[in-house]
Structure 1
Amino acid sequence: MGRLIAVVLFIAVLVPGVLLARAWALAGGRRAVASASVEFTSPTAEARDTVQRQATHGRRVRRIGLLLGLVAVAGSVAVFAEASVFLWAPAVALGLLIGVVLAEATRPRPRWTTGTPPRRPRRSEQISLWLLWTMRVVVAAEVVTAVLMWQRDELPDRVAWVALGAPLAAWLLAEVALLRALVRPLPAEGADVPVDEALRTWTAHLVSAAASVVALLPLGFLLLVAGVRLGDRVTDGVDLSPVALVAGGFSALAAGLAVAAFLVTWLRPVQLSERALAG
C-alpha cells in the first residue's frame, strides 16, 4: 500500500510541471495572433525604426550575456578547479538567460508620438496572468528552498549565493521590463498600435520565460538533493517526503527545460513583412 501511495504522489507532483509546459505551448497562439496583427497593418516609418532598433539592441545585449557566461566559466575554474567542468554549460546558459532579461529591461523607448490623453494596455493583454504569477511563485519557491537548505548546512556558502543571486537578479530585471512595458503609453498613430502591442507581448513572454528557467532548474536540483538526503534517513513507517521532493525536483527540471524550449521560439524579433497586404 505504501508503494502505491508513493507512486500516486510522485505522479501528482509531476502534474504542475506538465501544466506549466502546456500553458507555454498555448502561449504560442498569442505570438501568432500578435504577428498576424502586425502583418495586416502598414506601419509608419517610426514603427519600422523602432522595431529595427529594438532588434539590434536585443542582439547586442544578449552577446553581453554570453560574455557574462564565459566570465562565469572562468570564475568557476578559479573557485572549483577541476570540478568546475560540470558548471561550464550551466554558467553559459545562465549568462545567456540574464542577457535575454537585461535586453528586455533596457530596450530603447519607441520614438513615435503617444496619444493624448495617454492610454495604457492591461497586463492581461500582454501575457497570461497565470504564466506571470507562476514565474513569481517559482522564484519565491527557489529562494525559500535555497535559504532553508543553507540554514541546515546542506549547501556550501558559494553555491547558496549563486542559488539565491541568479534567480533574484533575473526576477528583478524581469519586473523592470514588465513595468516598462505596462506604463508605456500607446502610440497615437493607429497603424503603430499592433506593432506596439506585439513588442509588449514579446517582452512580457521573454522575461517571464527566462526568469522561470533561471529559477526552475536550480529549484529542481535543490529538491532532488534534498529528497535524496532525506531518503537516506532511517524512519519508522512510510515517509513520503523524499518521494515528494524527488518528484518535485524532476517536475521542476522538466518544466524548466520545456520553458527553455519555448523561450527559443520567442527570441526571433517582431517581423514587419506586410505579407497579408501584399497578397
Structure 2
Amino acid sequence: MGRLIAVVLFIAVLVPGVLLARAWALAAGRRAVASAAIEFTTPTPEGVATLQRQAQHGRRVRRLGLLLGLVAIGASIAVFAEASVFLWLPALIVGLLVGVVLAEATRPRPRWRLAEPARRPRRSEQISLWLLWTMRAVVVAEVVAAVVTWQQGDLRDAVGWTALAIPLATWLLAEVALLRALTRPLPADGADVPVDEALRTWTAHLVTAATSVLALLPLGTLLLVGGIDLGDRVTANVDLLPVALVAGGFAGLAAGLAVAGFLLTWLRPVRVSERALAG
C-alpha cells in the first residue's frame, strides 16, 4: 500500500510541471498572433528603425551575457578548482540567460510619436498572468530551498550565495523590464501599434521564461539532492517526504528544460517582412 501511495504522490507532484509546459505551449500562440499582426500593416519609417535598433541592442547585450558566462567559468575554476569541471556548462547558461533579461530591461525607448493623451495596455494583453505569477512563485520557492539547504550545512558558502544572488538579481531585472513594458505609452500612429504590441509581448515572455529557467533548474537540483539524502535514512514507517522531494526535483528540472525550449523560439527578434514593407 505504501508503494502505491508513493507512486501516486510522485505522479501528482509531476503534474504542475506538465501544466507549466502546457501554458508555455499556449503562449506560443500569442507570439504567433503578435507576429502575424505586423503583416497586415505597413509600419512607419520610425517603426522599422525601432525594430532594427531593438534587434541590434538585443544581440549586443546577449553577447555581453556570453562574456559574463565565460567570466563565471573562470571564477568557478578559481573557487572550486577541479570540481569546476561540472560547472562550466551551468555557468555559461546562466550568463546567457542573464544577458537575455538584461537586454530586455535596458531596451532603448522607441522614437516614434507617442499617443496624446497617453494610453497604455493592460498586463494581460502582454502575457498570461498565470505564467507571470508562476515565475514569481518559483523564484520564492528556489530562495526558500536554498536557504533551508544552506542552513542545514549541505551547501558551501560560495554555492549558497550564488543560489540566492543570481535568481534574485535576475528576478529584479525581469520586474524592471516588465514595468517598462507596462508603463510605456502606445504610439500615436496606428500603423506602429502592432509593432509596439509585438515588442511588449516579446519582452514579457523573454524575461519571464529566462527568470523561470534560472529558478526552476536550481530548485529542481536542490529538491532532488535533498530527496536522495533523506531517502538514505532508515525509518520504521513509510516516509513520503523523500518521494515528494525527488518528484519535485524531477518536475522542476523537466519544467526548466521545457521552458528553455520555448525560450529559444522567442529569441528571434521581431521582424517586418518584405511583404509588409511592400504593402
Scaled to the shorter chain, the TM-score interval is: over 0.9
Counterpart CA distance in 2 for 1:24 and 1:169 is 23
Is contact 2:139–2:215 with CA below 8 Å preserved after alignment? yes
Q: How does 1:11-160 map to 2 (within 5 A)?
A: 11-160=11-160
Q: How does 1:117-266 map to 2 (within 5 A)?
A: 117-266=117-266
Q: How many residues align?
A: 279
Work out whether 1:6 is the aligned partner of 2:11.
no
Is contact 2:119–2:186 with CA below 8 Å preserved after alignment? yes
Counterpart CA distance in 2 for 1:258 and 1:133 is 18
Deviation for aligned residue 1:233: 1.3
Q: Which amino acid aligns with 1:85?
A: V
Counterpart CA distance in 2 for 1:270 and 1:112 is 17
Q: Which segment is superposed worse, 4-13 or 151-160?
A: 151-160
Counterpart CA distance in 2 for 1:80 and 1:277 is 54
Q: Which amino acid aligns with 2:251?
A: S
Percent identity between the two aligned chains = 79
Is contact 1:38–1:274 with CA below 8 Å preserved after alignment? no
Deviation for aligned residue 1:229: 1.0
TM-score when normalising by structure 2? 0.98
What CA deviation, in whole Å up to 9, does each residue of 1:161-189 have, x standing for no partner? 11101110110000000000000000000
Q: Which amino acid aligns with 2:105?
A: A
What CA deviation, in whole Å up to 9, does each residue of 1:94-145 have, x standing for no partner? 0000000000000000001111110000000000000000000000000011
Q: Which amino acid aligns with 2:235?
A: T
CA RMSD of aligned residues (A): 1.0
**SS of alignment partner, residue 120 of structure 1:** coil
Query: Runs of at least 4 residues of structure 1 off by over 2 A?
Result: 274-279
**SS of alignment partner, residue 211 of structure 2:** helix
TM-score when normalising by structure 1? 0.98
Deviation for aligned residue 1:151: 1.2
Counterpart CA distance in 2 for 1:182 and 1:278 is 31
Deviation for aligned residue 1:7: 0.3
**SS of alignment partner, residue 270 of structure 1:** coil
Is contact 1:42–1:274 with CA below 8 Å preserved after alignment? no
Q: Which amino acid aligns with 2:149?
A: M
Is contact 2:181–2:203 with CA below 8 Å preserved after alignment? yes
Is contact 1:145–1:219 with CA below 8 Å preserved after alignment? yes
Deviation for aligned residue 1:154: 1.6
